[in-house]
Structure 1
Amino acid sequence: MLPSSRSSPPPPWDGVPWGEATSSAALRHYQSLPKKGKPQGRESTVLAAFLLSTPQDPRSPTVLSLATGTKCLGAARLRHHGDLVHDAHAEVVARRALLRLIYTEIGRNSSPDWLVTSGTGEKWRLRDGHHLHLYITQLPCGVMPVPPSPSELLREQLDSGNGCSDFGFVQRKPGRGDTTLSMSCFDKITRWSVVGIQGALLSHILEPLYLSTVTIGQSPNGALEGFSIENNIKKVLDARLSSLSSKLPLPFKLNKQLFFEAPIPPKEFQQTSGDVPPLTCG
């Protein structure tokens, strides 16, 4: 948002189990949906949700958009006519659904409950006291190279930015077969920390929309030695963005969202490991 004199109350996630609050809200919404399209048997998937907290009920966030997905197209199958979805990872699809919701909200005859026009009346912005949050059932791809077992993870990989000595290096999504050209989900979260999640088209009518928190589900195999969602991911993100702090034109800013750890998600969101190849839900 543009700098202003509006005072900011303490964030609602101070002193509360925020990871449990966001994950519970997202999983309740997911469980209320029909069975079609959900993992069956040994299948698993990734769930991502954008949530909104309000001044009226700051500690009970509401789901704005939700999606599952682990697929993306390889480079050989990319189309330049806009008739194929290149990236269908959960975080990306959930963001698309959120943008569609924003268009719908702004297009209504009545003012949205959580969006308001700015002081000049030229653009929309998030209402005062409202905060946007992201929940993901597992570490977003691109955060770190996951080894076959925790014992094979070198401590130096965490200290040097998840095994990548160049924090500015753009990573592609992992996968088998045809190599993808899609940016990793963590790279996209990094981009959202600078330009917002609204995208180029909505930027004409909406001020940059930034995340306040990102909550990630714990691994069922336990945390890797020396790794902490709250500390290590924030450390890597801050290092990647540090060189941009003095180069951003208004209304953009270097957003400092907080990271939280959520309880282990249900079995259908747990990725299998070992010799058994994972089965992902289409």
Structure 2
Amino acid sequence: MFMASSVSSSEESNWGKRVSEKVLSFYTSLPKKGKPQGREVTVLASFLLSSPSNDLKVVAMGTGTKCLGRSLLRTCGDVVHDSHAEVIARRALIRFFYTQIQHLTGSKHAPSNGGKRFKLDDGNSPFELDPGCLNKGKYSLKKDWKLHMYISQLPCGDASLSWQVSPLETAVLGESDSTSPLGNGLKQKGMVQRKPSRGDTTLLKRALYERMLPLSNELTSPFLVNQPIFHAAPVPPKDFQQSESAANTLTCGYSICWNECGLHDVIMGTTGRKQGTSAKGALYPSTQSSLCKKRLLEVFLSLGPENLIGSLPNGITYRELKDGAEEYHLASKIFKRKASFNKWFLKPLDCEAFPISE
């Protein structure tokens, strides 16, 4: 299944198949490292860009089904807490965006992408300085370029919720999962959570669009409620087919993270560090994934002036810096006070309280 922005009517009927083939073909071309073995299965998520001529290109990809238990969460931003495919693919996409901006700004003090260097085509960048925000240094997709997301199965959460029991009954809103850092015992009358992949596009549409419509008149620029178009893709290969019985499903413990700008890591989902990390060397910087908060922060800070870090208040934390993005902070507050979102579980505050260092 994937979601996309508008496409022409002549291509709409096979758009799902076309995107699926592009993603799966690319996945097949990747090395064996981090892929399911034997009876193992995983979830695959990917982001693609389409050009004005509707040429498709995979720009970010992630696999995985794991996340850390609460006891393993760390407060210094050096591990990836959530290694589900959608989260990994999104973070890989963010690094892709950062690398593109580094190239457009001519930044010479930027960290490399996972230890690799990648040459970008000067004349074919899909991004440009946003003409409406010239004084803020913001970038946007060029006209007629579009972003698409593919996922091999419906995600957990609201995309899998359905009114399947009597409103007078009570159903658990999710199965117990020892790997969930925010595992909850919440119950809600009339609602059940389907096993992932048993949902449908109607549920996904509700989770990603319809419940946000009431916010349309409250969000301020640059935020707005987008209406994606959803298409069903063909059934994926067996590596991505969950068994109807949980007892017969053996999930792969690794997460592949890749983007077009040179990133290619494999993360152990139960430790949040690079594959192959030993217990003795677990705290070395070399074990940190390019997608952990600490490494993403390094790249983000490199996009600003060379003296940016030196100009920040002493002891400022990751959370304080994030809250300093006023437009984002305001939009976040609007979301979290609405009924559809005010019961969301939040990560422990100390997980983002680590200081920014030079």
Q: What's the TM-score, normalizing by structure 2?
A: 0.53
Q: Count how many residue pairs are aligned between Structure 1 and Structure 2.
A: 213
Q: Write out aligned runs for 1:109-148 (5 A).
A: 109=106, 110=122, 113-119=125-131, 120-121=133-134, 122-142=137-157, 143-145=159-161
Inter-CA distance 74–125: structure 2 relative to 1 (3 Å threshold) = same
Distance 2:43 2:72 in 1: 23
Structure 1 pair 256/182, CA: closer, same or farther in 2 (3 Å)? farther
- 1:91 matches 2:86: yes
- How is 1:169-180 mapped onto 2 (pairs within 5 angstroms)? 176-177=177-178, 179-180=180-181
Match of 2:282? none
Q: CA deviation at 1:182?
A: 8.1
Q: Residues of 1 paired with 2:166 and 2:14: CA distance?
A: 31
Q: Bigger radius of gyration, 1 or 2? A: 2
CA distance 1:70–1:104, shift in 2 (3 Å): same
5+ unaligned residues in a row in structure 1: which ranges? 1-8, 147-152, 158-162, 165-170, 184-217
Taking the TM superposition and a 5 Å limit, the aligned residue runs for 1:198-209 are none
User: What are the equivalent positions in structure 2 for 1:236-255 lying under 5 Å apart?
Assistant: 236-255=207-226
Give the aligned residue type for 1:262. A
Which whole-Å CA distance do the structure 1 matches of 2:183 and 2:66 have between them? 11
Over 3 Å counting, the alpha-carbon distance change for 1:275 and 1:242 in structure 2 is: closer
Paired with 2:223 and 2:16, the residues of 1 have a C-alpha distance of 27
Partner Cα separation in structure 1 for residue 35 and residue 176 of structure 2: 21
Looking at structure 1, the residues matched to 234 and 61 of structure 2 have their Cα atoms a distance apart, in angstroms, of 18
1:266 maps to which residue? 237
For residues 239 and 118 of structure 1, the distance between their equivalents in structure 2, rounded to whole angstroms, comes to: 28
Q: CA deviation at 1:250?
A: 1.0
- Indicate if the aligned counterparts of 2:43 and 2:240 stay in contact, CA closer than 8 A: yes
In 2, Cα distance between equivalents of 1:273 and 1:112: 45
Pairwise CA distance, 1:104: 1.2
Deviation at 1:178, TM superposition (A): 5.2
Question: Measured at CA, do residues 36 and 127 of structure 1 come closer, stay the same or move farther in structure 2, by a change above 3 Å?
Answer: same
Q: Which runs of 5 or more residues in structure 2 are unaligned? A: 107-121, 185-195, 254-358
Q: Match of 2:295?
A: none
Q: Which amino acid aligns with 1:11?
A: V
SS, match of residue 50 in structure 1: strand
Where 1:276 maps in the other structure, the secondary structure is: helix
Match of 1:35 in 2: 32
What does 1:51-200 align with in structure 2 at a 5 Å threshold?
51-56=48-53, 58=54, 60-108=55-103, 109=106, 110=122, 113-119=125-131, 120-121=133-134, 122-142=137-157, 143-145=159-161, 154=164, 176-177=177-178, 179-181=180-182
SS at match of 2:101: helix
State the partner residue of 1:47: 44
Letter in 1 for 2:7: P
| Greater shift in the superposed pair: 134-143 or 240-249 | 240-249
**Equivalent in the alignment of 1:188:** none
SS in structure 1 of the partner of residue 59 of structure 2: strand
Letter in structure 2 aligned against 1:154: Q
Q: Secondary structure at the match of 2:247?
A: coil
Deviation for aligned residue 1:11: 2.8
Identity of aligned residues (%): 42
> What is the DSSP-based 3-state SS (H/G/I as helix, E as strand, rest coil) of the residue aligned with 1:134?
strand
Shift of 1:274: 2.1
Question: Residues 218-266 of structure 1, C-alpha deviation per residue, up to 9 Å, x if partnerless?
Answer: 95xxxx6xx641x342244444213211110111101111111111000
Which amino acid in structure 1 is aligned with residue 164 of structure 2?
L
The answer (yes or no) to whether the contact 1:48–1:67 under 8 Å persists in 2 is yes
Higher helix share: 2
Displacement after TM superposition at 1:45 (Å): 0.2
SS in 1 for 2:12: coil
Counterpart CA distance in 2 for 1:175 and 1:276 is 14
